C-alpha cells in the first residue's frame, strides 16, 4: 500500500466490507504499544467554534421567519 502526497491511503475493499466502512463512516486511529488500529466511531467529530451548539436550537420558527429577523427592515 502506498501513501499519497496528501497522506491518503486507500483501504482495500475486503477490509472496508469486513469493518462495515461505507462512505461517510467516521473512523479513528488508536495507538497501542506502538501499533495503530483503525476503529469505527459512534459519533462524528465536529470541528469549529459552533460544535457545542449544534442541535440545541429550540426556536419554533420557519427558516424564512428566522431570516427575516436577520435582515434590515
- Alpha-carbon distance of 3 to 38, in angstroms, equals 16
Residue 59, beta-bridge partner list: none
pLDDT at 2 over 80: yes
Q: Which one, of 28, 23, 3, 27, lies nearest residue 13 by Cα?
A: 23
Considering just the CA atoms, what is the radius of gyration of the chain in Å?
20
Q: Are 30 and 37 in contact (CB under 8 A)?
A: yes
- For residue 41, give the 3-state DSSP assignment: coil
pLDDT tens digits, one per residue of 3-56: 999 999 999 999 989 988 998 888 889 999 999 998 888 766 666 677 777 777
Q: Give pLDDT, residue 73.
A: 59
Amino acid at each position: 500500500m502506498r501513501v499519497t502526497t496528501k497522506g491518503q491511503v486507500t483501504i482495500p475493499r475486503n477490509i472496508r466490507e469486513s469493518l462495515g466502512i461505507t462512505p461517510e463512516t467516521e473512523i479513528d486511529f488508536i495507538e497501542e504499544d506502538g501499533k495503530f488500529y483503525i476503529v469505527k466511531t459512534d459519533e462524528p467529530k465536529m470541528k469549529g467554534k459552533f460544535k457545542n451548539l449544534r442541535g440545541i436550537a429550540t426556536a419554533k420558527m420557519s427558516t424564512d421567519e428566522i431570516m427575516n429577523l436577520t435582515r434590515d427592515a
